[in-house]
Amino acid sequence: MTMAARFRAPLVLTSALCATLVGGCAHTPSQEAPPVAASCPEGVPAETRCLRGRDSAGAHYLIAVPKDWNRMLVVHAHGGPTLGEPQARRADEDLTRWAITLRAGYAWAGSVFRQGGVAVRSAAEDTERVRRIFVEHVAQPTLTLLHGQSWGASVAAKAAEMYAAPGQRSPYAGVLLTSGVLAGRTRSYDFRLDLRVVYQSLCHNHPRPDEPQYPLWMGLPPDSTLTRSELAARVDECLGVRKPAAQRTPEQARKLKTLVDVIRIPESSVIAHLNWATWHFQDIVQHRTGGLNPFDNAEVRYSGSQDDAALNAGVLRYRADPRAVARFGADADLTGRIGIPVLTVHGIGDPTAFVELETAFARTMERAGTASHLVQVFSDHHDHSYLSDPIYATLFDALVRWARQGDKPTAAGLAQQCQAYEARFGPGCRLRPDYQPAPLEARVPPRR
């Protein structure tokens, strides 16, 4: 029987078969409608079979199975988060970016999530639901990995806590977290409040003096009509960030240097982080904390400017509401209680999710008593959205060996294996087995 024929013939989930699977079947029929055959997005391997659908909670999803399927599945939690109404095409973008999953032989399943915005737990539920749809309507994989990218890494970590806690029968064999936003709750976003208050002290145009004033932790008032292009124009007006350095005025150059030195972000990411500190903060406050403030900089000491005393005297100060902190934390905080292997990889120069977030996540797993389940590796990349094909192929395969054979990887071993994978998957192995990130507090001023 050909691989294609075996794929099209649903497996009967007998107790004997379940016993052969890593983690067992861990599946209860869900009454989800079956997906339908559909065209694949461009950029995936030839003869990949794609299926699409919308789950019972309203989340669009996409499933893809390569021609030479290795009978293993990767369930993907995408980055973002995306604001507004979720669009089905988001899954196409994710599959195209992560086509290495198919090239390495794995099937792929990704949910678009039922709602936009900074909602971690519901996204974790949607991620597990697409796995169940695959099992119920496509085939039973012999092993399933969970992969989260960027903000989706926090979704995948949350899903692992919910469905793969220590002592729990897990449908997943391992977790790969790439370029992860993994400090939970406000700790992952505190620096963006710092960005807002320092930017406002320098530029005074977000909001402008003649516009309605609001606390910056709010992001924007609910009725604001400000657009991203309008905000970018304001930033450029003050900092000249979109101009070549030689075309900036001395005042723009001074202010830009102050901002990036104090907040410790590259010039190229200022507008992006201000966008997130505006519209994502608006989503958090309006939809997650009931209008209350989850962010605190009341006692933060900012440094790195030419006159830190003047800077600290001039920035706006806010104290978090404990109720908002608790509400946001109930959704977004991580416990580290994960009972299966976890691999993380992060670019050392990541301009979007600081590499120091990995130290915070390691501490979380240490507090949970699950540090032995974690291996972290780092690459000499200054990228966030994608590192390289051989790195991801290496980590997927290492997770499989760890789950099946108990062969826990080391950073040095992964770097060596990755070099060998370049012959098949192309160049890009820049793993740094000697690197250890600093504490998050070295990058972001600590709070109370």
Judge contact between 174 and 342, C-beta under 8 A: yes
**How much is the pLDDT for 25?**
47
**How much is the pLDDT for 13?**
38
Q: Which token pair is 2?
A: 């050909």
Q: What angle do CA 228, 86, 186 make, to 5 degrees?
A: 65
Judge contact between 183 and 160, C-beta under 8 A: no
Q: Single out the residue of 327, 139, 291 nearest to residue 217, CA to CA.
A: 291
DSSP annotation string for 205-264:
-TT-TTSPP--GGGSS-TT----HHHHHHHHHHHH-TTS-GGGS-HHHHHHHHHHHHHHT
Distance of alpha carbon 203 from alpha carbon 224, whole angstroms: 19
| Exposure on the CB side of residue 15, measured as CA atoms within 13 A | 0
Q: Single out the residue of 53, 73, 71, 75 nearest to residue 62, CA to CA.
A: 53
Taking 70 as the pLDDT cut, the residues of the chain under it are 1-30
**How much is the pLDDT for 4?**
35
Q: Could you report the per-residue pLDDT of 172-226, keeping only the tens digit for each?
A: 999 999 999 999 878 999 999 999 999 999 999 999 999 999 999 999 999 999 9
Length of the chain: 448
Which amino acid belongs to residue 448? Answer: R
Distance of alpha carbon 128 from alpha carbon 150, whole angstroms: 18
DSSP annotation string for 420-436:
HHHHHH-S---B-TT--
**How much is the pLDDT for 30?**
60
Residue 442 CB neighbours (<10 A)? 13
The answer to whether the pTM exceeds 0.85 is yes
Q: Could you report the per-residue pLDDT of 140-175, keeping only the tens digit for each?
A: 999 999 999 999 999 999 999 999 999 999 999 999
Give me the domains of the chain, ranges plus CATH numbers: 3-184+338-442 (3.40.50.1820), 186-329 (no CATH)
**How much is the pLDDT for 27?**
46
